[in-house]
């Protein structure tokens, strides 16, 4: 099933909504296309419907009337999960406690009637691929969280699925391990080149892993785009604030300039409007000499975080501005500073609905 653009199936989700039996509207009808070999990340705060969407694609949940799921153009809506050939990594891993690590990894192959010798070969391959050599005969309760995560991944990949579905696979792990495994997972997904859908509430995970990111909010899709698009061109305030740090500035616009308490700030493509909402990323604000700057403020606080320092400036904008400054410049609380912001770095957001 491999093609020039990668492995696995392409997925089309058409008007898939979900209302649970208890009346919970978990998902507004949504449509989505996922290309073969693409890694798509579903990103959003807890309870926004990410898992529900994933389970609909997996076949664990039926979409509401009218919803359709297509794999390679074929309607699979009525096909149960066991015949969809999907690899799934559950948030809780769902490893079988009654089987060893190797038996867990080989279970899908056993179901497919693959002979024992061939199965053992494939299991050994996956054990090597996921760095769990030596654990093959362990029981599941003798594994650490990170090891369980790897076994779950190996088990899901073993069956050569058409699509790999991962539901917050790193959430249960501590921060350092999460960071390391994220890198490993990224390399593995690239190496396999398989279609994958990855659910997370962690925006930095989403950025690193996703070819495209679907930002979700309250059961609806807020924005779909590449990590860069999502970061630099958020469609609305929710996306802007959810992805990374963002300064939200409410001001009036006069001939292409934001009129602010601390001065005027040029924006790209200027017009005049009585009230606009703009977003400025902290790292796109430079701290400059106060005399020449068109925008000025006073430093409220400075926190040194190693690779940079986070400076909060008041008086420039209606609300305090957060600035990510290089760790080499010297500023202190109380200093008057000038701010330099490229006009392209200011992004107008649609007014709040």
Partner 1 sequence: MRDRLIFTGQFLFTLLVAAFLVVPTALSITAGVTTNYFRGIQSGLTLQWVAQVWDLYADTIGLSFLIAFATLAVTLLAGVPAAYALHVRGGQLSRLVEEIITLPIAIPGLALALALLLTYGGFGAFRRSWLFILAGHVVFTMPFMVRSVMAIFASVDIKTLDEGAASLGASPWRRFRDVIVPNAVPGILAGSLMVVTLSLGEFNLTWMLHTPLTKTLPIGLADSYASMRLEVASAYTLIFFIMIIPLLVAMQMFAERELTR
**Residue ranges in contact with partner 1 by CB under 8 A:** 21, 58, 60, 80-83, 85-88, 90, 92, 94-98, 107-108, 111-112, 155-156, 159
User: Checking phi first, is residue 276 left (phi over 0); if not, alpha (psi -120 to 50) or beta?
Assistant: beta
Q: For Mg ion, what does the binding mask look like between residues 34 and 53, x meaning CB under 5 A? A: -----------------x--
Residue 242 binds which entry of partner 1, Mg ion, ligand ADP, none, CB below 5-8 Å type-dependent: none
Report yes or no: 321 and 245 within 8 Å, Cβ to Cβ. no
Instruction: Determine how many CB atoms are found less than 10 A away from the CB of residue 78.
Output: 9
CA gap 201, 168 in Å, rounded: 8
Q: Rounded to the nearest whole angstrom, what is the least distance from the CB of residue 227 to Mg ion in the complex?
A: 21
Q: Rounded to the nearest whole angstrom, what is the least distance from the CB of residue 11 to ligand ADP in the complex?
A: 18
Q: Rounded to the nearest whole angstrom, what is the least distance from the CB of residue 158 to partner 1 in the complex?
A: 8
Residue 141 binds which entry of Mg ion, partner 1, ligand ADP, none, CB below 5-8 Å type-dependent: none
Order of strands across the sheet with 39-43?
A: 86-89, 163-167, 196-200, 39-43, 212-217, 220-225
CA gap 157, 151 in Å, rounded: 10
Q: Please count the residues of the chain.
A: 353
- Residue 254: which H helix or E strand, with range? strand 247-254
Taking only Cα atoms into account, the Rg of the chain, rounded to an integer number of angstroms, comes to 24
Q: Rounded to the nearest whole angstrom, what is the least distance from the CB of residue 93 to partner 1 in the complex?
A: 8
- The nearer residue to partner 1, 140 or 185, going by C-beta atoms, is 140
Report yes or no: 185 and 196 within 8 Å, Cβ to Cβ. no
CA gap 89, 68 in Å, rounded: 23
Q: Rounded to the nearest whole angstrom, what is the least distance from the CB of residue 92 to ligand ADP in the complex?
A: 13
Residue 85 binds which entry of partner 1, Mg ion, ligand ADP, none, CB below 5-8 Å type-dependent: partner 1
CA gap 72, 17 in Å, rounded: 21
Q: Rounded to the nearest whole angstrom, what is the least distance from the CB of residue 48 to Mg ion in the complex?
A: 9
Q: Rounded to the nearest whole angstrom, what is the least distance from the CB of residue 98 to partner 1 in the complex?
A: 4
Residue 24 binds which entry of Mg ion, partner 1, ligand ADP, none, CB below 5-8 Å type-dependent: ligand ADP
- The nearer residue to partner 1, 60 or 177, going by C-beta atoms, is 60
Residue 94 binds which entry of partner 1, ligand ADP, Mg ion, none, CB below 5-8 Å type-dependent: partner 1
- The nearer residue to partner 1, 152 or 287, going by C-beta atoms, is 152
Q: Rounded to the nearest whole angstrom, what is the least distance from the CB of residue 18 to ligand ADP in the complex?
A: 8
**Cα distances (Å, whole numbers) of residue 258 to 192, 253, 266:** 48, 5, 6
Terminal alpha carbon distance of the chain = 45
Count Cβ atoms within 10 A of the Cβ of residue 186 and give its class: 0-12 exposed, 13-18 middle, 19 or more buried.
Answer: middle
- The nearer residue to ligand ADP, 24 or 327, going by C-beta atoms, is 24
Give residues with Cβ within 8 angstroms of 270, minimum separation 6. 253, 255, 256, 257
Residue 304 binds which entry of partner 1, ligand ADP, Mg ion, none, CB below 5-8 Å type-dependent: none
- Among 119, 130, 144, which residue's Cα sits nearest to residue 188? 130
CB-nearest residue to Mg ion: 51
- The nearer residue to partner 1, 97 or 269, going by C-beta atoms, is 97
Footprint on this chain of ligand ADP (rule: CB under 6 A): 20, 22, 24, 26, 44, 46-52
Residue 352 binds which entry of partner 1, Mg ion, ligand ADP, none, CB below 5-8 Å type-dependent: none
């Amino acid at each position: 099933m491999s093609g020039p653009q990668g492995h696995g199936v392409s997925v089309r989700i058409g008007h898939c909504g979900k209302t649970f039996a208890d009346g919970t509207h978990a998902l507004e009808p949504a449509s989505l296309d996922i290309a073969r070999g693409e890694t798509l990340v579903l990103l959003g705060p807890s309870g926004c419907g990410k898992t529900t969407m994933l389970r609909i694609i997996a076949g664990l949940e039926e979409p509401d009337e009218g919803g359709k799921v297509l794999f390679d153009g074929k309607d699979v809506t009525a096909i149960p999960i066991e015949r969809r050939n999907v690899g799934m990594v559950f948030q809780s891993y769902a490893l079988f406690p009654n089987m060893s690590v190797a038996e867990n990894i080989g279970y899908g192959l056993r179901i497919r009637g693959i002979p024992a010798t061939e199965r053992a070969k494939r299991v050994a391959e996956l054990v090597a691929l996921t760095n769990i050599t030596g654990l093959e005969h362990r029981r599941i309760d003798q594994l650490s969280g990170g090891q369980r995560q790897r076994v779950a991944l190996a088990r899901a990949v073993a069956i050569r699925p058409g699509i790999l579905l991962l539901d917050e696979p790193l959430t249960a792990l501590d921060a350092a391990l999460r960071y390391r495994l994220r890198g490993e997972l990224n390399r593995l997904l690239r190496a396999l080149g398989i279609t994958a859908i990855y659910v997370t509430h962690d925006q930095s995970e989403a950025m690193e892993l996703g070819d495209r990111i679907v930002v979700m909010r309250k059961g609806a899709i807020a924005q779909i785009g590449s990590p860069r698009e999502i970061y630099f061109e958020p469609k609305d305030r929710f996306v802007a604030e959810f992805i990374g740090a963002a300064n939200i500035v409410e001001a009036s616009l006069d001939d292409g300039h934001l009129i602010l308490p601390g001065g005027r700030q040029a924006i790209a493509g200027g017009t005049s409007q009585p009230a606009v909402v703009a977003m400025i990323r902290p790292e796109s604000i430079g701290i400059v000499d106060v005399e020449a700057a068109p925008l000025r403020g006073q430093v409220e606080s400075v926190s040194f975080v190693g690779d940079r320092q986070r400076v909060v400036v008041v008086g420039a904008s209606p609300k305090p501005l957060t600035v990510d400054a290089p760790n080499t410049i010297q500023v202190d609380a109380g200093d008057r500073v000038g701010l330099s912001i490229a006009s392209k770095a200011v992004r107008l957001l649609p007014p709040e609905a």
